[in-house]
Structure 1
């Protein structure tokens, strides 16, 4: 059985994973949601105005009332900058599986922050929430996300053609990864 704790604060060597607050809207918008380089990998695409980010962050903040909602902002300890987000979603209570997604602002790519954040939430998910399997997918034209998944022990399980359609109405093939609790806790 999955144990839900909502979105507790998690800490790593360089990061604080925490709940978003309304005051994060400007960082949310500026640091990743308005950047086409980042949002090209997201289904809904870039936010064209801060009002879109206000709406999204407000919805996220309101969801924190639900213990099954797990959405963390990724904050740099050294500077306090909010650089991205990571979340568990699509919980299947029958199989005790879920998916994980993560986004980092372009300025912070290729510095190990994605790996550090993913490792922290997987550790929490497997050790505390008792999740059986965590899965993730990435567009095949975004191999850096797959490298992050591999670094934390996830294995590629296949390729799904035209798995998503992005905001530009382009279909994208996605590589699917997964890891079981017993594989991670070895």
Structure 2
């Protein structure tokens, strides 16, 4: 993982994580206006409109510069194609943050979420000096849980029937990892 502070990019073996641009709104809309993605995410609206994409993207740079939330586009290193998004929140009071991500359905199963999440975890620990990083996922989405396991995260708890999604309740599984250098 190589972090470029000036350009706010993270480069991995296959990916470049970069800030979203307004020009990404069409691709974001195409990827997010997908029922299978919606049913596995906590906050993504459905149907997803271009207005949703623009209103989401417009706050990214300000949040990044204010050290509140770091939201990156997950893109192909060679072609620049957008695969998804990954974010890291910053709770300065507790020196921790949450990872959240989504990958467009056409790109599932290629390891992009894991590669991006490994990079964002390193960014959290090495660049931002977090003590802990955590994540949540629906029990009905074990693929997301496998991504977190690959990061070395441990299951810390299950919130039973914690979220109502489409007239059914979902268990929310919490996972976390402590910065090994901070021990």
C-alpha RMSD of matched pairs (Å) = 2.2
Residue of structure 1 aligned with 2:172, choices 147, 165, 174: 174
1:61 CA drift (Å): 4.4
How far residue 160 of structure 1 moved from its aligned partner, in angstroms, is 0.8
Q: Which shows bigger deviation, 42-51 or 115-124?
A: 42-51
Note the C-alpha offset of 1:6: 9.9
Alignment partner, residue 150 of structure 2: 151
Cα distance between partner residues in 2 of 1:71 and 1:48: 18
Residue 49 of structure 2 aligns with which residue?
Answer: 49
TM-score norm. by structure 1 comes to 0.87
Query: Please, which runs of 5 or more residues in structure 2 have no aligned partner?
Result: none
- Cα distance in 1 for residues equivalent to 2:104 and 2:178: 28
Check conservation: 2:63, 2:70, Cα contact below 8 A: no
Higher relative contact order (CA 8 A, sep 6+): 1
Normalised to the residue count of structure 2, the TM-score between the two structures is 0.88
Q: What secondary structure sits across from 1:92 in the alignment?
A: coil
Give the ranges of 4+ consecutive aligned residues of structure 1 lying more than 6 Å apart after TM superposition: none
C-alpha change, 1:6 and 1:145, in structure 2 (3 Å) is farther
Partner in structure 2 of residue 139 of structure 1: 138
Deviations 1:90-122 (A, max 9, x none): x33232111110100001111111100000010
When residues 92 and 57 of structure 1 are mapped into structure 2, their CA distance, relative to the original with a 3 A threshold, is closer
| Most deviating of 138-147 and 169-178 | 169-178
Task: State how many pairs are aligned.
Answer: 178
Q: Does 1:70 align with 2:61?
A: no
Change (3 A) 1:62 1:128: closer
Contact 2:29/2:48 (8 A) holds in 1: no
Q: Answer whether contact 2:156 2:175 (CA < 8 A) is retained.
A: yes
Q: Distance in 1 between matches of 2:39 and 2:6?
A: 29
Aligned to 1:18: 18
